[in-house]
Amino acid sequence: PVPRCKPLRHAYEKEIVLYAHFVGLDYVSTECVYAPHAYRGHARALLKDLEATRASTVAALGHSGRRLAVGTEVATKALVAC
C-alpha cells in the first residue's frame, strides 16, 4: 500500500485557514453535532497548558505518535457523518 501524504500535519488550524484564504480556496467550517460533548476540548486545553510550560511538547507527542504501531486486530467503531 502507498502511505498517505499529510503535507499540513505540522501546521496549526489557524495557519491552514489563513493559507486557504490567501490562496483563494473555498473553506467551509461547520461544527460537528457531537462537538459540544466531545472530550477533544479537554485534551486541547491540556496540550495548550503543556505547551506553555515546554514549547516542544506538541512536536514530541507527534513524534511518539508516529512511532506507535496499531495491531490489525484492533476493533474500531464506524463513524457517521456529522
Mean pLDDT, the chain, rounded, equals 79
Q: What is the pTM of this model?
A: 0.42
pLDDT at site 23: 92
Is position 74 within any domain? no
Percentage of the residues of the chain whose pLDDT score is greater than 70: 93
Per-residue model confidence as pLDDT tens digits over 4-26: 777 777 777 778 888 888 999 88
Per-residue model confidence as pLDDT tens digits over 58-68: 888 888 888 88
Is position 49 within any domain? yes
The answer to whether 19 and 27 are in contact (CB under 8 A) is no
CA distance 52 to 60: 14
The answer to whether 44 and 54 are in contact (CB under 8 A) is no
**Structural domain that includes position 57:** 32-69
Q: How many domains does the chain have?
A: 1
Is position 76 within any domain? no
Model confidence at 45: pLDDT above 80: yes
Q: What letter does residue 11 receive in the DSSP assignment?
A: S
